[in-house]
Structure 1
Amino acid sequence: MRDVARLAEVSIGTASKAMNAGGRLRQETREKVMRVAKEIGYRPNDLAQSLHRSRSRTVGILTNDSFGRFSFPIIQALEERLADHGIAVFMCNATDDPARERQHIDQLLGKRIDGLVVTARRSDERPAILVGGIPVIYVFSQADDPDALCLLPDDEGGAVLAVEHLIGLGRRRIAHVTGPERFEAVRLRHRGYQRALERAGLGGGHFLTGDWSEQWGREAVAQLFSGKGETPDALFCGNDQIARGAAEALRDRGIAVPKDVAIVGFDNWLVMAEAARPPLTSIDMNLPALGREAGERLLAMIAGERVTGVKRLPCTLVVRQSSDPDRSENSRLETKAK
């Protein structure tokens, strides 16, 4: 800073104000100081500044989603929102190991982070992280603490949107093929499925649970189309892998999709949905919107605002040819926010 002040022919105090966007300085003075600093390669001491202002301008992100299918869209949007305020992020992967998670938390706290974001590959409840002194937000994750802030997709509303779409197409025998019931998302989507059927006076339908896999989608079709009883004219699947497996199994049986059986998946995972034959109609959980919302809430909490509770953000229905044969472009419908 002394070198910058000397070369810019100003006092150290003026140079400091210019570098930190503070004080009342003439614009030409501020620009001269910044130009000199750039020319000599001056970089502020972030650690010293963080000690001075009691803020590090960094945020920790803790995840167990090694694959990144759900966490990366959230983190990317979150990072973009925080970058607008000059805040950087440190991301750590705990891989479902409590000891490793604790180690990462200790390391992040040692870096004097201003806040912590916890995300995961599933939205089920987990033990709360107790750090004290800094805000914590759970995104696509939730804590067993009523005072925690948890941001989640509206799984139940997304299921209602999917089933009402199928009903609107004239489908009346709608089966629900999904993942293991131990997942909260499965239970919420099943509840939305039942609610939409009841509204339309269509009864209970078929509900099959299995793995989150294409193979389970094929096996479910074998069960539903075994020749025993009335067969479905539509499938609402718990994710796009199941939906893609079901579509392949129906094609192998000579059953046309969507003419004979319409299909709606969940997640709108583009590598699955767009590569399927035909391309899959699917529920999009709008993960980037979760990330942006997390960024907004975290900034407010860092500034001292107290925010708690569970907030579920709207899902969107993306319509493709697996439910609508005449669909040439993606069409999006949104659930109501809860």
Structure 2
Amino acid sequence: MKRPAVRITDVAALAGVSAGTASKALNNTGQLSQDTRERVRRAAAQLGFTPDVRGRALSSGRTFTVALLTTDSSGRFSIPIMRGVEDVLSAGELATVLCDTRDDPLREQSYLRSMVARGVDGIVVTGRRTEPRPPIDVPLPVVYALAASTDPADASVIVDDAAGAAAAITHLRTLGRTRIAHITGPADHRSAVERAQAMTTLVGEPLFGEWSEQWGRQATDLLLRSHPDVDAITCGSDQIARGVCDRLRELSRAVPAEIAVTGYDNWPVMALASRPPLTSVDLRLEELGRRAAQLLLEAIAGTPHHGVLELPAQLVPRESTLGG
């Protein structure tokens, strides 16, 4: 015989709450304690409860779908952010749709028209750069992640780049490094400029160039010609730092015994493959995505956030400064 379908009232009874509370917990809405939400979710999992998505959408007027609009075709930044978004949204049985605009304004407008027509509940806007961007014009809740909206009334979640760079300097000084230089990316990138400005009391001027290993190698030669006695090099990205480490090794300059090196972004592909593995500043992109999703859910529920929320970065020490 076919087992009767598990109902929301069955979940509520097992969790010891009302059906309304159980529904709010599973939809990640309402003002409920985390303990109550977890109790309801455990009850739902134990009973094998499967929400009726179509019925829920019809009764609520929502699609329980959120769009992630990005300019980051490679996924370097958008994929970790999307993982964080999905961590939050999946608890409420919401789906995430990835829309890659490829930095094309026409493609972006096409996606926006399509998402509005499909009735998505809201949109998270992100990309691969941190420069504030113009707001999108849609009749939906929107949250900006990594790059803030130029409209101060919008909800934006960004990384505190300056504090992350300062943490790298503090780490090096704690290790006794005093002659510290800085190599970074293009001078017209906000992230490169902010990270360089936070690097106070440097040896010489910051060297601006490209986000590449090749630039890291070239800049190392330029730096050592003018400042051969540096004992630490901070870099604006892990790609640059890996190039720096490679060139120092070719020049028989030991890392970190002679010159300590730090990266930025904590991108495992670069930071862990470097020789030695890089001390780096982690942008905590998944947490950025989680916070953006939480703000979006609050906006969907009728309590939007206004202004910029700045999240701290985290220094991750490894052998390029600590040895071993």
When normalised by structure 2's length, the TM-score is 0.83
User: Does structure 1 residue 183 correspond to structure 2 residue 189?
Assistant: yes
Question: What is the match of residue 162 of structure 1?
Answer: 168
Question: What is the match of residue 148 of structure 1?
Answer: 154
Partner Cα distance (1:25, 1:129) in 2:
40
Q: Secondary structure at the match of 1:211?
A: coil
- CA change 1:230–1:43 in 2 (3 A) is closer
Question: What is the match of residue 39 of structure 2?
Answer: none
AA aligned to 2:216 is G
Compute the displacement of 1:193 (Å): 0.9
Partner Cα distance (2:186, 2:53) in 1:
51
Question: What is the match of residue 125 of structure 1?
Answer: 132
Of all paired residues, the percent bearing the same amino acid is 41
Compute the displacement of 1:242 (Å): 0.3
Compute the displacement of 1:182 (Å): 1.1
Task: Report Cα offsets for 1:161-206 as digits up to 9, x if no partner.
Answer: 0011111111111111000121111121112112xx3xxxxx6643
Task: Report Cα offsets for 1:254-289 as digits up to 9, x if no partner.
Answer: 111111100000011111111111111100011111
Task: Report Cα offsets for 1:26-52 as digits up to 9, x if no partner.
Answer: 88xx9xxx9xxx9xxx99572x64243
**What are the within-5 Å matches in structure 2 for residues 1-338 of structure 1?**
19=7, 21=8, 44=52, 46=54, 49-132=56-139, 134-194=140-200, 197=201, 205-226=204-225, 228-326=226-324
RMSD value over aligned CA atoms? 2.5
Q: Is the 8 A contact 2:179 2:203 kept in 1?
A: no
Partner Cα distance (1:182, 1:312) in 2:
22
Give the unaligned 5+ runs of structure 2: 20-43
AA aligned to 2:272 is E
- CA change 1:26–1:217 in 2 (3 A) is closer
Superposition misfits of 4+ residues, deviation over 6 angstroms: 23-27
Compute the displacement of 1:136 (Å): 0.2
Compute the displacement of 1:253 (Å): 0.8
AA aligned to 2:191 is A
Partner Cα distance (1:149, 1:72) in 2:
20
Partner Cα distance (1:85, 1:26) in 2:
19
Partner Cα distance (1:315, 1:25) in 2:
40
- CA change 1:207–1:88 in 2 (3 A) is same
Compute the displacement of 1:53 (Å): 1.3
Q: Secondary structure at the match of 1:322?
A: helix
Q: Is the 8 A contact 1:50 1:57 kept in 2?
A: yes
Compute the displacement of 1:306 (Å): 2.2
Partner Cα distance (1:178, 1:286) in 2:
20
Partner Cα distance (1:43, 1:283) in 2:
41
AA aligned to 2:276 is P
Q: Is the 8 A contact 2:124 2:293 kept in 1?
A: no
Partner Cα distance (2:313, 2:125) in 1:
21
Q: Secondary structure at the match of 1:62?
A: strand
Question: What is the match of residue 200 of structure 1?
Answer: none
Partner Cα distance (1:232, 1:43) in 2:
61
Q: Secondary structure at the match of 1:206?
A: coil
Task: Report Cα offsets for 1:57-96 as digits up to 9, x if no partner.
Answer: 1111101111111110110111121010111111111001
Aligned length: 291
Q: Is the 8 A contact 1:281 1:319 kept in 2?
A: yes
Compute the displacement of 1:105 (Å): 0.8
- CA change 1:24–1:162 in 2 (3 A) is closer
When normalised by structure 1's length, the TM-score is 0.80
Q: Secondary structure at the match of 2:125?
A: strand
Q: Is the 8 A contact 1:221 1:246 kept in 2?
A: yes
Give the unaligned 5+ runs of structure 1: 9-14, 198-202, 327-338
Q: Is the 8 A contact 1:224 1:231 kept in 2?
A: no
Q: Is the 8 A contact 1:174 1:206 kept in 2?
A: no
